[in-house]
Amino acid sequence: MKIQRPGTPAPRTPTARTDSPVTPLKNTVRSPATAASSAPARSADAFESSTRATAKAVAPGRSNAARNLPAEIPTGTKDYYRKRYDDFVRRNPGMTPPSYYLEYGQKYCDRFSSLGPKDLTPEGLAWRDRTLKALQDAIETKRMEDPAGFAQLERDPEAFKKFAYDSHPDAYVQSGLYKLPAQDLMKIGTTPELKDLFTKDGLRQIAVALGKMDAGDMASVAKESAKEMWKDLKHSFSRLF
């Protein structure tokens, strides 16, 4: 038996603990990297889903409208008019394409392209190439300025033919028609078929083209004609001697 000294505190008697140990709380706060990577991903998914839904609702109408507009076709090619014809058929099933495309444009593109050095002078051949492109450029310019209006014009074959014929005189003259010798003018003038020339539109284009000729043009034709005659004479003499 231990004797407690006066003034000494009595020792505490251990008591049994009845509460269970406290379980430490787990860290439930995500790291900044995880939060930054997960939140935007959900946002992007929602945006993409919304965009796809909107596209499905809007795209069909817009794509149909785009498909109905005439396509751009490169100029200066031998099959330009055939491609314009095919483009019209693609956009307008069951409708009649402008007859100008194949019955005039493609026909005379083929016919003039078949002319060679025996038919035209080098100047005449160069004029032909410039003119073929200028005629096609006139159509493409019309399409580019107002695609919807051009598509409507195509659906009126007579109106389209008038527009195309009216573009001919400027293409002929600005490409240098009246700087060619008479030999070339004769060949150029007799290449088209009479049935295509002696129509209202055909006669009008001839009249407009002739109206663009002035005194200087006539002098130029005479000069070039004389040069070609001299070349022919020299060639004939060289064959004799």
Domains in the chain: boundaries: 80-240
Check residue 6 and give its pLDDT: 53
pTM for the model stands at: 0.66
- The pLDDT value recorded for residue 58 is 38
pLDDT at position 224 is 66
Write out the chain's pLDDT in tens, 241 residues: 555 555 555 555 555 454 444 444 444 444 444 444 444 444 444 434 433 443 343 344 445 556 689 999 999 999 999 999 999 999 999 999 999 999 999 999 999 999 999 999 999 999 999 999 999 999 999 999 999 999 999 999 999 999 999 999 999 999 999 999 999 999 999 999 988 888 888 888 888 887 887 767 667 766 666 766 645 544 444 555 5
* Predicted pLDDT of residue 35: 44
pLDDT of residue 125: 97
Cα separation, 103 vs 196, in Å, equals 9
Predicted local confidence at residue 52, as pLDDT? 46
- Residue 98 CA to residue 227 CA, distance in Å, equals 42
Residue 160 is predicted with a pLDDT of 98
